[in-house]
A and B are shown apart, each in its own frame.
Chain A
Amino acid sequence: MTDTVGITALIPPELVYACRHSPIDVNNIVPTSSINPRSKLCAWTAVWRDEIMEGQLDIDSLVVVAGGDCHNALVDGQKVALSGIPTHYFFYPFDRDPDYMASQLEGLAGFLGGIKDKEMFSNISGLKEKGLALDQLRVDDRARASDVFSALISFGDMQGDPAAFEEVLDSIPRTDVEYSSRVALIGVPPIYPDFHEVAESFGLHVVYDELPYEFVRLCGKDLQGLAGSYRNYSFSGPVTGRIDIIRQELDRRRVDGVIHYTQFACHHTLEDEIFRAHLDYPVLTVQGDLPRPSSEQLKLRLEAFSEMMEVMP
């Protein structure tokens, strides 16, 4: 029987499908959620926690990505576990150790009842190639960043149905994009559901979404292959590794400026200074808290950033 497996951050969705279950990235419901969480630090974890515990998000089990990612998720995940939902804790190796990564993937496969459909590995690998091609389209100004972002962010769970998701990918319109500046969006994804549209309205073409790019970049055709790839999940390791990838992508995608999104009460906010010191581009830092349409304050910052890149020498 196929179970719906909630996942709190990136784990290989191909492994969940290979175990004949259907993943759902619990974050994807957060930006449009109307829940006001009871007690919170980061709204991402607090909202999915309450959505699950109040029965508004129906899952059979939960995989909490804890080690190497988020300790707020670890605590809120345990609250979900205490409410009676079977919960597994997944840890990335900070030192990128492939054996540790493989053992974590084996443990995850065990929690999910074992691998039953190995073909899913290559099916999903094919989908990720499509994802990379889509990503390149917006780099080449032939697709809107808002469309590409919503597709890439869905690679965490393939919307629970890879075949239907492939049709979604194929339906993304190809269109010539006009803009005044090319920007990269680094950090965790914005909690504002309309962020990319708002950026577009100020002439900002987002040509790089750091986290969603990880979703399509990492891949593998068997458990060892997954371990070799996912151990390099940039967010789970040293920040220097992230900087290397970001720099390479900023260069390749010819960006004019960088937007660093930070989430209230998220430890990644502390990385802002590091990025500012190590990235030789204009950097705009913005912060969100609860999921809401983009605020006037955010709009002012995006508008000003766009103007500064255009007007100031």
Chain B
Amino acid sequence: MITGLDVGSTTAKIIRLDSGKLTASKVVPSHRWKELLEYGNTRNTIATAEAIGTVETPGTIQTTGTTQTMRNAQTIVSTGYFRKTVPHTAAITEITAASLGVRYYIPDAQVIVDVGGQDTKVIDLRNNTFLINDKCSAGTGAFLELAAHYFDIPVESLGKLHTRAKRTARINNTCGVFAISEMISQLVGGYTMEEVICGIHQAFARRIAQMIPPVETVVLIGGTVLNTGIVESFESIHGSTVVLPPSPQTVNALGAALYGEKLRPGQ
């Protein structure tokens, strides 16, 4: 049994692989990441919440002061921003996790764009290079959070509202702070909330498109791409074919679990 645990800045995800087969997955807000271990536990798979600590050596969970071997020795591979804080047998970066996870579904994937809560990563699998935007909120989930917060609506509803727009309010700024004042002036100028949201998605997609090398197919992953408005805007702006893996939000957790398989073949 291999567990992939992805604890990022916004959400935490878990994936279980049993002899190479995906058997369970779950997503919770990051601050509730311990629930994932309990969730696994009820399925008799993962370390108990009390045993939370760092798994330094494969097969052993290190809790404060003691090292105990788990009865059902688990391989937990963590990834995400908090990968080194949560229990793990091994920890890998989101970049490697995304590469492995996406390849599982799309073996000939070329470029991956992982839109995270606080950063955006572009991974070019053709030459194993990557770019990370973690300097500003432009092109990250935080930018959309800011817009949703302004309208006092859940961020999950942005995609649906986008589909109701009859036209697009042009938003030029991708800096969150400036974008808000631009949003306000477009609203004052007569655009509806839906049309402004559509404009926000376009600005977001333009920012991400700037980071991407010329390529035919782009694989989008991360919780943000569950927003269909983003995907639609991106497709129209970048001009490449966009592919989404079956579960774009948990693909990094899957990648972590696949890495665990490499460590512990046959588990």
Contact = CB atoms under 8 A, between A and B. Distances in A.
Interface in A254-313: 257, 276, 282-285, 297, 300-301, 303-305, 307-309, 311-312
Contacts of A297: 132, 134
Contact of A307 (B95, B129, B131, B134): B95
Given A303-B93, A304-B93, A282 B132 contact: no
Interface in B73-97: 92-96
Given A308-B96, A311-B259, A312-B99, A301 B132 contact: yes
Nearest to A311: B96
A308 B132 contact: no
A225 to B, nearest CB: 41
A282 B93 contact: no
B93 A307 contact: yes
Nearest to A312: B128
Given A297-B134, A311-B92, 12 more contacts: A276-B129, A283-B127, A283-B129, A284-B130, A297-B132, A304-B130, A307-B93, A308-B99, A308-B129, A308-B130, A311-B259, A312-B99
- Sorted from nearest, which 5 A-B pairs have the closest CB atoms? A304-B95, A304-B93, A307-B96, A282-B128, A308-B128
A297 B262 CA distance: 27
Chain B interface residue count: which class?
10 to 19
Interface in B107-146: 125, 127-132, 134
Given A282-B127, A307-B93, A300 B99 contact: no
Interface of A: 257, 276, 282-285, 297, 300-301, 303-305, 307-309, 311-312
A interface, over-half SS: helix
Contacts of A257: 128
Interface in B93-107: 93-96, 99-100
6 contacts: A257-B128, A304-B93, A307-B93, A308-B130, A311-B262, A312-B128
A305 B99 CA distance: 12
Nearest to B99: A312
Most chain A beta-carbon neighbours within 10 Å: one of B127, B128, B132? B128
A297 B94 CA distance: 13
Contacts of A300: 93, 132
A308 B121 CA distance: 14
The listed residue with most B CB atoms (<10 A of its CB), out of A282, A285, A304, A307, is A304
A257 B128 CA distance: 10
B264 to A, nearest CB: 15
Contacts of A312: 96, 99, 125, 128
A274 to B, nearest CB: 15
A111 to B, nearest CB: 42
Contacts of B92: 307, 311
A304 B252 CA distance: 14
A188 B110 CA distance: 31
A309 B99 CA distance: 12
